[in-house]
Structure 1
Amino acid sequence: MFMYVFVPVAVCFIYRWYKERKRVPNKGNKYVYITGCDSGFGNVLAKHLDQLGFCVIASCYTEKGEDELKKNASDRLTTIHLDVTDSESVRKAAAFIKSVVGEKGLWAVVNNAGVSVPSGPTDWLTIDDFKSMISVNLYGVIDVTLSVLPLIKMTKGRVVNVASVFGRISPFGGPYCVSKYGVESFNDSLRLNMAPFGVKVACIEPGFFKTNVTDTALVKDNIRNLWDKLPQDMKDDYGQGFLASSLDMLDSRFRQLTDSDLMKVISCMEHAVSAVHPRTRYSPGWDAKLLWLPLSYMPTCITDRVALSHMVLTCTLLLAALAAVHWYIRDSYKVDAFNKKHVFITGCDSGFGNLLARQLDGKGFHVIAACLTEKGAADLKAAASSRLKTLLLNVTDSSSIGRAVEFVSKEVGERGLWGLVNNAGRSTPIGPPEWMQFEDFAKVLDVNLIGVIDVTLQFLPLLKKAQGRVVNVASILGRLTLTGGGYCPSKYGVEAFSDSLRRDMQHFGIKVSIIEPGFFKTAVTQIDLINADLTRLWTRLPQDIKDSYGPSYFDDYLKSQDFSMNILCSPDISKVTRCMEHALTARYPRTRYSAGWDAKFFWIPLSYLPSFVLDFVVRSLLPLPKA
């Protein structure tokens, strides 16, 4: 019996080894564009590919970085200045590259530029801390990719995105994991979209390596600076010994995990650029392969314990599990005194937020419902008791959020806020990434991700008073990517933010839950609105891009989307609001709720399968372009 299993597996590995050995020819005619080449992975990769004969265009953030790289490379290597957070700088770089490559096109772009600080417990940070890192690590990747995608399609080339193993699991707070989760999602949607055009998209997921990003002194200084800025009452909450113990643990983790051999990562990047058959994902580093990736497939209760523990306990904790009967009994316990608890809900004009507000109002909670429109607020008031209060809120406007905090503070007084439900969201624009402009991504990310982070950070002091609950509405599309646009990256980001927030806040008695609905009939999934927006995107495309998809592609795309939505969308949105209610009323709320049969029995199991299986399923749902 053993041989029946061993022989096919061995044959598969030998075939894969043989297939992956093949390299592309004519390297001297292939241009590779790399971001973040001042130091670290980008710098070493630029020199490595230059030695292999590629025509490297290396972007650096500083003149010093450019000068030092030029000294250590051949005349083939060209350097340019690039700030990935500045769209104008990105456009200038793309125009320069177009003038250099001409009709040959661009063989590959390697999105390597990134930053790691500020990082720390979530409630130590401001929304500006999140925005500054996300603008580099996620928005920068999207903007650079879109700027050179037409050049890459000319050569049927490569896009290589440097994410991180922490795009799979969030063991610490701050925006780093949030941004890398987003890169994973963008990478997946781009890979699916570009496959019919012969463009291959690969994701690099390194573990801990010794670079400027993981410089111990830099990270420790960042932690100290954040601590020094904290109000005294927050320092008292953590305790005076917390800073020292955190720095000691950071030293210990970095000593145990950090690998100084950058070539493990560079060899993966080089393979993604030069192999005839590159992989979809590379996980360089022993810690990535043997610890973080296996851990990312574990139940949340195990990953939380490991992320919060010392490494010596990891093996023991991985074997721990709760008995099913104990879990069921524990899950049924409820908190008391609903009539003394306040809950603030965003996005209550319609859909999940509207129904949840009325549902909790009926249970006796003091509901404060935030709506975007006056009509939404008036309609909700008319359908609820006098306990329910409404206010107008735009989650993309920090001052609007600040006014909401003032209003809620007066309502809750010293009792604090029991529950925050981040429900506000939008879905459009969605569609193939190539149809988008950077602003299309930003519209959705600003509401679904930045809005969630901003609202949460501003309400945290009130939640800490009550030792309350944060309920973040993500989506099953925060686990796997079915479509392009900002929706999936934003929901991946909400997953990462929620995981890090939960781990940071559990010391203060705050519980954080994620709602991951499948497909439901709400304003977000209204097919007429989605189709109208897709028509807008298609209409503004240049004719050459339309031609590359073929004359019937757009109509076929709309038909397949209509068919999928009609089959998948459930009209019973109470399945979702019951999960939200449990997260607010249970004594022991779950960390994740997957609402809907499609989420439980199809999408979540699918999210654990290899990428090539997921790609096959998603491609079967959509038409193929002419190319």
Structure 2
Amino acid sequence: MTASVLITGASSGIGRATARHLARREDLTVYATARRPETLEPAGPGIHPLALDVTDEESMRAAVKHIEERHGSVGALVNNAGYGQYGTVEETDMQAVRRQFETNVFGPARLAQLVLPGMRRAGGGRIVNIGSMGGRLVFPVGGYYHASKYAVEALSDALRFEAAPFGVKVSLVEPGLIRTGFEDTASGTLADSAGDDSVYAALNEAVGRRMADSYRSRLLAVGPDAVATVVKRAVTARRPRTRYVVTPAAVALVHTRRLLGGRAFDAYLRLQFGKV
């Protein structure tokens, strides 16, 4: 059983809910981290706030060192920090794309590199990467966000095989629509990506409208506790699954994409967003 858990992006949403769920276990010490530690909740039983910016090398090194000095190793790493950069492939600024990948891909990969030596010395550990159903299918105007989550899929699959001989188990959690404020950030980046005179204005409007409707739907979207419960299982189960798809709607969409193939799924998207 792991003694220490490092959670990134724990100031709100899935990260905060996960910290609360894991802290209920008396055998775990949870390190809830965020780029700005003042945004974290005050320390509670079993929860320790810690500064960590997944885009800053020294910050990541310092956080891992802090935990290893107290526990010998990071028992479990939950790579949760991330956000959605929305906009068309043509019009999204490449600096914004680079920031997306620094946060969603390179940060989690670097943290895995930093915790693995300690996990090997300890004879085991857990790495839980928060991906998305968006790593299994793509909606228009989210190409760069989806690309980052496809990358997390690939890294998780490779790492799972590579780390297994050392007793390190790797799981990928793929949430569907979760009410966390993600949609507000995504909508904001979409609005900033192009002006009203964009050739993609009608598509951007359709996607923004559909996104808002979907997150309001009780059938399609759920709260972050649904994901936190699954992450807790991945961290504590004796034999965690390689993948966990969260929400019935996400399961249905992932299987629909797999069964329909590319052309048929494109036709499905045209029904959703219109012929724009």
TM-score (norm: length of structure 1): 0.41
Mapped partners of 2:221, 2:94: distance in 1: 32
What SS does structure 1 have at the residue aligned with 2:172?
strand
Preserved contact between residue 91 and residue 194 of structure 2 (Cα < 8 Å): yes
Q: Which amino acid aligns with 2:22?
A: L
Mapped partners of 1:112, 1:155: distance in 2: 24
1:97 equivalent to 2:67? Answer yes
What SS does structure 2 have at the residue aligned with 1:36?
coil
Q: Which amino acid aligns with 2:37?
A: E
1:264 equivalent to 2:230? Answer no
Give the greater-gyration-radius structure (CA): 1
Preserved contact between residue 38 and residue 69 of structure 1 (Cα < 8 Å): no
Provide, for residues 152-184 of structure 1, a one-character-per-residue CA deviation record: whole Å limited to 9, x for no partner.
Answer: 221411110001111111113342111110011
1:126–1:56 Cα change, 3 Å = same
Q: Which amino acid aligns with 1:133?
A: Q
Q: Which amino acid aligns with 2:208?
A: L
Please point out which of 41, 49, 62 is paired with 2:36. Answer: 62
Residue 130 of structure 1 is matched in structure 2 by 97
1:169–1:59 Cα change, 3 Å = same
1:175–1:195 Cα change, 3 Å = same
Residue 191 of structure 2 is matched in structure 1 by 224
Mapped partners of 1:185, 1:243: distance in 2: 29
1:49 equivalent to 2:56? Answer no
Preserved contact between residue 52 and residue 60 of structure 2 (Cα < 8 Å): yes
Higher RCO structure, 1 or 2 (CA under 8 Å, sep 6+):
2
Preserved contact between residue 171 and residue 241 of structure 2 (Cα < 8 Å): yes
What are the equivalent positions in structure 2 for 1:293-372 lying under 5 Å apart? 293-310=255-272
Residue 77 of structure 1 is matched in structure 2 by 47
1:86–1:248 Cα change, 3 Å = same
Provide, for residues 582-624 of structure 1, a one-character-per-residue CA deviation record: whole Å limited to 9, x for no partner.
Answer: xxxxxxxxxxxxxxxxxxxxxxxxxxxxxxxxxxxxxxxxxxx
1:283 equivalent to 2:245? Answer yes
Root-mean-square deviation (CA, aligned residues, Å) is: 2.2
Preserved contact between residue 87 and residue 204 of structure 2 (Cα < 8 Å): no
Mapped partners of 2:205, 2:146: distance in 1: 24
Q: Which amino acid aligns with 1:269?
A: V
Provide, for residues 473-496 of structure 1, a one-character-per-residue CA deviation record: whole Å limited to 9, x for no partner.
Answer: xxxxxxxxxxxxxxxxxxxxxxxx
Superposition deviation, residue 205 in structure 1? 0.4
Residue 209 of structure 1 is matched in structure 2 by 178
Mapped partners of 1:191, 1:307: distance in 2: 33
Superposition deviation, residue 297 in structure 1? 4.5
Provide, for residues 229-265 of structure 1, a one-character-per-residue CA deviation record: whole Å limited to 9, x for no partner.
Answer: x7x4xx2x346x5554443333233334642332221
- The percentage of counterpart residues that share the same residue type is 30
Please point out which of 205, 210, 215 is paired with 1:254. Answer: 215
Q: Which amino acid aligns with 2:261?
A: P
Superposition deviation, residue 62 in structure 1? 1.4
Please list every run of 5 or more consecutive structure 2 residues that lacks an aligned counterpart in the other structure. Answer: none
Please point out which of 175, 178, 181 is paired with 2:147. Answer: 178
Preserved contact between residue 130 and residue 174 of structure 1 (Cα < 8 Å): no
Residue 193 of structure 1 is matched in structure 2 by 162
Mapped partners of 1:95, 1:39: distance in 2: 24
1:131–1:268 Cα change, 3 Å = same
Mapped partners of 2:166, 2:243: distance in 1: 19
Q: Which amino acid aligns with 2:258?
A: S
Residue 273 of structure 1 is matched in structure 2 by 235
Preserved contact between residue 134 and residue 150 of structure 2 (Cα < 8 Å): yes
Provide, for residues 299-357 of structure 1, a one-character-per-residue CA deviation record: whole Å limited to 9, x for no partner.
Answer: 1111222233228x9xxxxxxxxxxxxxxxxxxxxxxxxxxxxxxxxxxxxxxxxxxxx
Please list every run of 5 or more consecutive structure 1 residues that lacks an aligned counterpart in the other structure. Answer: 1-23, 314-505, 508-627
Richer in helix (by share): 1
Richer in strand (by share): 2
Q: Which amino acid aligns with 2:105?
A: L
Preserved contact between residue 83 and residue 186 of structure 2 (Cα < 8 Å): no
What are the equivalent positions in structure 2 for 1:377-392 lying under 5 Å apart? none
What are the equivalent positions in structure 2 for 1:394-433 lying under 5 Å apart? none
